[in-house]
Amino acid sequence: MLPEKMKAVLDIGETIAVEFKRCGNGVGEDTYQTVCSFLNRFGGDIYLGVEDDGTVYGIPRNAASDTVKNFIKMISNPDIINPTIYLSPEILEFEGKVIIHIHIPPSSEVHSYKKVIYDRVDDADVKITATGQIAQMYIRKQKIYTEKKIYPYVTDDHLRLDMLPRLRQMAVNRYQAHPWENLSDTELLQSACLIGEDLETGQKGYNLAAVMLLGRDDVIKNVCPTHRTDALLRKVNTDRYDDRLIVETNLIESYERLLAFAEKHLWDKFYLEGDARISLRNAIAREMLVNTLMHREFTSSYVAKFVIEKDKMTVSNANRAERSGMITPDDFEPNPKNPIIAAFFRNIGLADELGSGVRNLFKYGKRYSGADPQIIDGDIFKIIVPLDDSYSFDAETDKVQVKNNDCTLNCTINCTLMEKEILEYLHENPTATQAMVASAISKSLRTIKTEMSVLQEKGLLNREGSRKNGRWIVKQ
């Protein structure tokens, strides 16, 4: 966040969508109450380390990383926030003090904190206890998302419940001690919000999200007859196609079949991230395909497409847009079109936190073809990734220009883009901790420690002073 924007937020003060918390003794109950109320209203932003009057008090620098970890652990506990959510706090520095920024998107669910529902009224978090108020909240949210439509006559026999053991294992493999591990099938479905109640009509049962994720093919065809993804290869015969795959099954198996189509027809170029090889092809295809499957508007008759051509590949799907135009990493607001389906994909490890898809597409797309992708929001959502079979990121020499206090140093080295990002960040923030670097460039602390050690070995980075009060020196 730019200092000017942060200053403007502080000057305006607390509003219906902005809350300040000092957190002198850690994250308190009132912070989680605000998280709950923002989820139930229009979303908002919480700033930890700031007094109610906008005075920046700050979080102890050495405690910021642990504060973030404890916060994430708490909101992932269904006994605290229910249904659980995934948020990605950001550690910021403003006028020499550390602040933690938490962005909370609006949710399609009604959330509770320790079994109490909170709503946001002006700049206050208010307990909601009256049955009528709670019912109105459910009705308001259910009208927004078609995935919540109840199908009271859909039974277990209409679903592929045989898939649940595999999906449960996928969740456990991705997240140690995942709550699904010890849940029965019914409890898992309830935990994933695939069983619901329409408080306007009184209908109870499986919702559209359950049908799209786990439904038998004939049931999906009956409920959503236009559901289809048309995968085409157009490299030689551009008027028709060289290969075609029509996918009309549930979303989980749709992803697997479409990824296999991508693996069949796209080069898997060599690429190292740190000392580990990453499949650029799979990383890009995963983000494109997961996005088109979990964010599409199922009530539209538009047939989703995945097209691989000689110079580009494109996914397109029907969309319920809140804006129109190009999306970039610096100008987008994560907004799940089908939050229940998106959460299910995250639980089984096929998707990450909101907003990571855009960052990954730009990051890996540039490495794969040497050019940035295009993401176009509108009634038809499109992702276009350029293709260039002759381009190899591994063969490129990256020129890094680094400035220090004395001179401008031009060093031409075989370094990764991650190393460049670390150098540039540390040049601008020489007193930053490794945890702050990890947060700034969206990498794990373990990865950052490894990469910074490599940069020190290359002679591009040096540490001066003590561990607590020292600074990083970027040099040639």
Distances from the Cα of 437 to the Cαs of 276, 456, 472, in angstroms? 20, 15, 12
Confidence (pLDDT) at 448:
86
CATH 1.10.10.10 assigned to domain 397-474? The reply is yes
Confidence (pLDDT) at 1:
62
Confidence (pLDDT) at 417:
73
Query: Residue 342 and residue 213: Cα distance in Å, rounded?
Result: 10
Query: Residue 304 and residue 222: Cα distance in Å, rounded?
Result: 18
Confidence (pLDDT) at 266:
94
User: Locate tokens 């038809």: which residue?
Assistant: 380
User: Locate tokens 């140690």: which residue?
Assistant: 176
**What secondary structure letter does DSSP report for 16?**
T
Segments in 105-184 forming alpha helices (H):
131-142, 164-174
pLDDT averaged per 10 residues in sequence order, the chain, 476 residues: 81 88 87 93 90 90 91 91 90 91 87 93 87 72 76 95 95 88 94 87 92 96 93 93 96 97 92 84 95 88 93 91 73 76 92 78 91 88 92 60 42 63 88 86 81 84 81 82
Angle at 207 between CA 203 and CA 208, to 5 degrees: 135
Fold of domain 3-131: 3.30.950
Segments in 116-223 forming alpha helices (H):
131-142, 164-174, 185-191, 208-214, 217-223
**Two structure tokens written together for 183:** 């849940």
Q: Which amino acid is it at 447?
A: T
Answer whether 172's CB lies under 8 Å from 165's CB: no
Query: Residue 204 and residue 346: Cα distance in Å, rounded?
Result: 25
Query: Residue 85 and residue 75: Cα distance in Å, rounded?
Result: 6
Query: Residue 249 and residue 254: Cα distance in Å, rounded?
Result: 6
Query: Residue 126 and residue 136: Cα distance in Å, rounded?
Result: 15
Domain ranges of the chain: 3-131, 145-223, 229-393, 397-474
The arrangement of secondary structure in 229-393, i.e. its CATH architecture, is 2-Layer Sandwich (3.30)
Residues across the chain: 476
The SS3 of residue 329 is coil
Confidence (pLDDT) at 191:
93
pTM: 0.57
Answer whether 312's CB lies under 8 Å from 387's CB: yes
Closest CA to 311 of 243, 373, 357: 373
Non-local CB neighbours of 468 within 8 Å, separated by 6+ positions: 62
Answer whether 86's CB lies under 8 Å from 354's CB: yes
Query: Residue 141 and residue 157: Cα distance in Å, rounded?
Result: 29
Answer whether 318's CB lies under 8 Å from 296's CB: yes
Confidence (pLDDT) at 271:
86
